[in-house]
């Protein structure tokens, strides 16, 4: 029986001063967050969450969802927050249709919902029958002219028709599904408004979380019906256990519960810390584990040339979708697991997203299993493969998103399986992820592989490598060009339309229309999307280049040095910093290895890669062409006054509930701190979530300060 951490809830809420507390417990829907903006009762805009700050405008597609009202019964200004989801039965229908048309199937309902809501054709969205649950009011405003002012307000300090006192103050993203709450300023809940809440029991503004959900229902929104008022932690635990057992019976995917203090006045008193409220916490359900068989092991090639072994599995349903493959990371991980073709293995989805092989059930071996050997030549271009030591961390493994795979016979340039692995969509799970002992004899993962080895294709012009570089360049963490996915990139390369990054910015409608599935409108949309993404921050630009050993953290360190006009040995960045592509073209090739290493946190491998990349005339020519085509960079100007994180090194471990890992990293960097992938003598803090691994044990042994999410919030 799964249990929740009662003490963690008590510590999270800090409720000792508030007497008997009641909670509103809701189901955590595994979908896509949406923000709905109503002006005078009419839907004016619908947007996705985006990267936490910038969302995508998907208004036309939102309007096709029948459960989202286009007009409210009252002419109020309202910002509501909720989740867009797709039913399991609808996913099956969509995937059957996609399979019949030769398209890749969606991995799960969340990906299908996200892909659908970003469709360029609203008619396609309407056919997919998306649904919604709205759970939050971010802001509510009642126009001055609509309702009379009660005497109790007219006689108070709020004169001159100051109905603006009812305007909600937007909060930053919260712990719970990044939801935002409003607070009523001035004279909060004494203000009664005619008609607005006539359908509620006492026609007053919401005094509780449950009242707010009732208000949303009365305004015409669809609200998940399974929320519950709980009087104790024990009742919350009963609710949690109940849904652990029956979560798979609903037509929508669930990944946990959300616990909120019910009373609004206590919510207001507890307040927020950074992006998270002190009055709420989310608890995820345990990861589902199943057994299946490794039917084969193939090799894929990533943008750095890394060869990644991928287990092709006997299809099995786990955590809401059918899994047929899982990354095995590298040769050393295969040896650690002792995984063989034909083995029965235990798999799970890390974070309910990324399929991973947890262990091998060795007592089911028949003797017919075959050991796997990494190829000596690239399966795509046939070039020699070399083995090189690497550090394994919890950062994204670039080989998780390759497009090409080859078996033992290898392959020709441009020939292979071009279908994107729909199961490798985000970061790979850290190898420190703990694994509980299970009854089938699966072993416990006890350590993190600090040093491992990857095999690399030495051909810099390998088709798969070039393609993955471009896919990385246009990805969300890079230029974020919507609509330019792997299949389109592949077609553009094969048709000779693009050869490098710069070519992307001179794509025309004429280039696109001959390609498969490109009509006039879709070609227009992609050309416009490319044009709109010609301006990018310097750190994203450096990351987008895909320089080996230069990830987000290194890019951020470089920008930090530039922002401070940091002198690195004999080289000094120009006065005023790097403000254009021309500056990069002029100055970056002049910087030597030892000078790059003078930037704290940049090691020899990263420095050498930077020198090699900017010393390559071919790359400089690409940058020069990008400049000529109007690509611009800008330098973010922010300087934190917070000394709690300044110059401190953080390591993350375990599952975080209040923030995404990207949000945590962004906060630490902007506060002047640094992220590291492994615990060392230089580590100042280990931020530990749930289900911690070997990093936690190592931090304890080394005396590194270990902090919880709550302690981290207090540092912000």
Residues with active-site annotation: 28
Please state whether beta strands 632-634 and 535-537 pair in parallel, antiparallel, or not at all (unpaired).
parallel
**Token pair belonging to 541:** 């630009």
Q: What is the DSSP string of 659-688?
A: S-HHHHHHHHHHTT-EEESS--TT--EEEE
Determine the straight-line distance between the first and last CA of the chain, rounded to whole angstroms.
36
Query: Can you tell me the distance from the alpha carbon of 705 to that of 700, in angstroms, rounded to the nearest whole number?
Result: 8
DSSP string, 272-334: EETTEETTEEEEEPPPPEEEEEEEEEEEEE-TT-EEEEEEEEEEEEETTEEEEEEE--SHHHH
Is the torsion defined by CA of 569, 575, 581, 585 positive or negative? negative
Question: What gap in Å lies between CA 499 and CA 467, rounded to an integer?
Answer: 9
What is the secondary structure of 410-452 as a DSSP string? ---TT-S-----TT--SPPPPTT------TT-PPP-----SEE
- Cite the DSSP H helix spans in 167-232: 209-218
Nearest to 135 by CA among 172, 179, 105, 102: 179
Distance CA 319, CA 287 (A): 8
Decide: helix, strand or coil at residue 129.
coil
Longest dimension (CA), the chain: 88
For residues 705, 707, 711 and 712, what is the CA-based torsion angle, rounded to 10 degrees? 100
Looking at residue 171, the DSSP 8-state letter turns out to be P
Give the Cβ contact number of residue 595 at 10 Å.
19
Q: CB–CB of 144/161 below 8 Å?
A: yes
Q: What is the DSSP string of 545-603?
A: TT-TT--HHHHHHHHHHHHTT-EETTEEPPTT---SHHHHHHHGGG--HHHHTTSTT--
Cβ-based burial of 388 (10 A; exposed 0-12, middle 13-18, buried ≥19): exposed
Both tokens of 407, joined, read 């078996």
């Amino acid at each position: 029986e799964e249990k929740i951490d009662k003490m963690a809830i008590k510590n999270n809420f800090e409720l000792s001063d508030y007497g008997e507390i009641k909670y509103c417990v809701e189901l955590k829907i595994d979908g896509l967050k949406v923000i709905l903006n109503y002006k005078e009762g009419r839907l004016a805009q619908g947007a996705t969450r985006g990267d936490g700050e910038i969302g995508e405008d998907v208004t036309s597609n939102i309007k096709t969802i029948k459960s989202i009202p286009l007009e409210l019964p009252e002419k109020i200004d309202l910002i509501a927050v909720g989740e867009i989801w797709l039913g399991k039965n609808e996913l099956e229908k969509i995937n059957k249709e996609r399979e019949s048309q030769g398209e890749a199937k969606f991995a799960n309902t969340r990906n299908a919902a996200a892909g659908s809501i970003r469709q360029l054709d609203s008619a396609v969205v309407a056919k997919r029958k998306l649904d919604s649950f709205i759970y939050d009011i971010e802001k509510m405003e009642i126009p001055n002219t609509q309702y009379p002012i009660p005497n109790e307000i007219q006689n108070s300090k709020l004169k001159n028709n100051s109905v603006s006192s009812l305007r909600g103050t937007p909060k930053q993203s919260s712990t719970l599904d990044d939801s935002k709450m409003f607070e009523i300023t001035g004279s909060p809940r004494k203000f009664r408004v005619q008609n607005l809440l006539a359908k509620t029991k006492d026609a007053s503004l919401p005094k509780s979380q449950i009242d707010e959900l009732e208000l949303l229902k009365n305004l015409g929104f669809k609200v998940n019906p399974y929320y519950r008022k709980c009087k104790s932690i024990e009742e919350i635990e009963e609710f949690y256990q109940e849904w652990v057992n029956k979560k798979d019976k609903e037509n929508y995917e669930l990944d946990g519960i959300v616990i909120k203090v019910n009373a609004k006045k206590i919510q207001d008193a507890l307040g927020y810390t950074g992006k998270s409220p002190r009055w709420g916490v989310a608890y995820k359900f345990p990861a589902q584990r199943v057994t299946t068989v490794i039917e084969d092991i193939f090799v894929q090639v990533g943008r750095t040339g890394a060869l990644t072994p991928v287990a092709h599995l006997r299809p099995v349903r786990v955590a809401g979708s059918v899994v047929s493959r899982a990354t095995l990371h590298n040769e050393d991980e295969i040896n650690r697991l002792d995984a063989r073709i034909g083995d029965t293995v235990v798999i799970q989805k890390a974070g309910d997203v990324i399929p991973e092989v947890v262990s091998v059930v060795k007592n089911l071996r028949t003797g017919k299993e075959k050991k796997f050997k990494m190829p000596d030549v690239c399966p795509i271009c046939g070039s020699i493969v070399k083995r090189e030591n690497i550090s394994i961390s919890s950062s994204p493994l670039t080989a998780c998103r390759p497009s090409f795979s080859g078996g033992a016979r290898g392959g020709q340039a441009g020939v292979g399986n071009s279908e994107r692995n729909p199961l490798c969509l985000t970061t790979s799970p850290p190898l420190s992820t703990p694994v509980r002992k299970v009854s089938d004899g699966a072993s416990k993962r006890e350590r993190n592989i600090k040093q491992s080895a990857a095999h690399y294709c030495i051909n810099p012009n390998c088709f798969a490598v070039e393609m993955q570089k471009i896919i990385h360049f246009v990805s969300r963490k890079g230029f974020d060009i919507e609509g330019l996915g792997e299949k389109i990139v592949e077609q553009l390369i094969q048709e000779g339309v693009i050869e490098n990054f710069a070519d992307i910015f001179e794509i025309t409608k004429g280039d696109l229309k001959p390609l498969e599935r490109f009509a006039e409108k879709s070609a227009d949309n992609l050309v416009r999307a490319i044009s709109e993404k010609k301006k990018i921050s310097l750190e994203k630009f450096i990351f987008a280049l895909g320089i080996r050993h230069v990830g987000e953290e290194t890019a951020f360190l470089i920008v930090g040095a530039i922002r401070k006009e940091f002198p690195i040995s004999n080289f000094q960045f120009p006065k005023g910093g790097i403000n254009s592509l021309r500056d990069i073209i002029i100055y970056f090739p002049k910087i030597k290895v030892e000078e790059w290493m003078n930037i704290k946190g940049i090691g020899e491998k990263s420095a050498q890669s930077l020198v090699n990349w900017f010393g390559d005339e071919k790359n400089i020519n690409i940058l020069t062409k990008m400049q000529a085509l109007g690509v611009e960079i800008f330098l973010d100007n922010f300087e934190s006054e917070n000394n709690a994180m300044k110059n401190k090194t953080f390591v993350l471990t375990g599952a975080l509930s209040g923030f995404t890992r990207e949000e945590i990293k962004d906060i630490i960097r902007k506060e002047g701190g640094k992220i590291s992938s492994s615990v060392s003598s230089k580590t100042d803090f280990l931020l530990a979530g749930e289900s911690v691994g070997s990093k936690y044990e190592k931090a304890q042994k080394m005396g590194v300060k270990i902090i919880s999410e709550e302690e981290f919030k207090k540092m912000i």
